[in-house]
Amino acid sequence: MLPRSDGLNDGRSLSMWKIRLFLIACLLVSGVAPASLAQAAPPQQADAVRDLWLDISLGPPLVDWFNDVARPDDIARVENVRQMDLLDEIKTGRKLVVFKSVAEAERVLPRIADQIDIIGFNVENGPGYPPQERADPLGSVKRMHDLARDYDLLLAFGPDHDLALSDGVTVAPYVDIFVLQIQRVQTEPRTVFDFVLPLAQQLHEANPDIEISVQIRTEGDVVEVVDLIDAMDDQLNGVSILTSPETVDTAEALVAELQTREDAITSPSATLVTPMMEIETESNAPPEDIGQDTGLSCPLMVVGALIAGGLGGGVTAALICASRRESNGTSSERL
């Protein structure tokens, strides 16, 4: 319920709205739509990378190390039920076993459900993946979802790249964790961003409660890999890590970097509107009207003044811009 206001408050409220509309008009006249009116972009601020949970595929050399470094929400993962004995040794975090088919899960879960927290379900092209389940991913995921609920478990879904794009949004409402596989292109940031950022937003729209991770492998420069994660962690809840017996040292270094990284890199998704804004200003405004006197365009002056001086500073900057345009004989009818 809105608080009751007297005439004075109503007058102040009306004045504030007039000022806001005036500022928006100034920005529109300058060829730039304010962020709230532009295409919605994902959040610019991200929690630190160290806050993401980690989902780590286990091998015998990593069990003791995992027990030492894992946090309560981190995940110890085995890629098939034949490795269940490794999970018996895990003392902290959550436990996940991956299944390649619904039929296998239906057969095995009655014996192991009380030993795990999460069912992993991969649908890919390759040996061991039933073609009929790939042909009907929605039906397969629904069956696995129902099975997970029967045993009070979470469901993590890790499809291959093509299936994630074609059916990911459709199956998202039935999935608790969605793993986006980027390990084959983790050295190509633009390819990763083009895949992860729009799809992550669509998955969140389809299921606001879904958690999303990206899957990487223990290869390459550890700092560069974490930089990649850092640049998009505002869309992520976790990181899934594929390991191997030959890359134990890399796995340990990668996890250490992920668990201690604090400073967030600006997300590429946060700058999606900026290039369009700059191009529109440059193409529509006469050269002498941009950067006159101060070297800054009017939109940047207004936005900078709003940040530095609050509403009063923004109004002042807008009035200066209007005065400057009038004195230069510049038309202000551009949108």
Q: What is the pLDDT of residues 175-211, one digit of tens each?
A: 999 999 999 999 999 999 999 999 999 999 999 999 9
Check residue 72 and report its DSSP letter: T
pLDDT value of residue 313 = 55
Q: What is the mean pLDDT of residues 232-255?
A: 96
Cβ atoms 29, 219 nearer than 8 A: no
Structure tokens at 219: 């290869």
Query: Is 92 a residue whose pLDDT tops 90?
Result: yes
Instruction: Tell me the whole-structure pTM to 2 decimals.
Output: 0.68
pLDDT value of residue 75 = 98
| Alpha-carbon gap, residue 54 to 221, rounded angstroms | 18
Cβ atoms 116, 145 nearer than 8 A: no
pLDDT value of residue 309 = 53
Query: Is 232 a residue whose pLDDT tops 90?
Result: yes
pLDDT value of residue 322 = 55
117-149: pLDDT as tens digits: 999 999 887 777 888 888 999 999 999 999 999
Q: What is the mean pLDDT of residues 256-280?
A: 59
pLDDT value of residue 304 = 53
The confidence band for 320, taking pLDDT boundaries of 50, 70 and 90, is low
What 86-95 contacts at long range (C-beta under 8 Å, 24+ apart), as own/partner pairs, is 86/58, 86/59, 86/60, 87/58, 87/115, 87/116, 88/115, 89/63, 90/58, 90/63, 90/66, 91/67, 92/66, 92/67, 93/66, 94/118
Find the DSSP H helices in the chain.
7-29, 63-69, 84-88, 102-112, 131-135, 137-150, 161-171, 189-206, 222-230, 248-260, 273-284, 298-328
The confidence band for 262, taking pLDDT boundaries of 50, 70 and 90, is confident
Q: Which domains does the chain have, with CATH numbers?
A: 49-266 (3.20.20.70), 285-329 (no CATH)
Q: What is the mean pLDDT of residues 264-286?
A: 43
Report which of residues 298 and 48 the model is more confident about.
Answer: 48
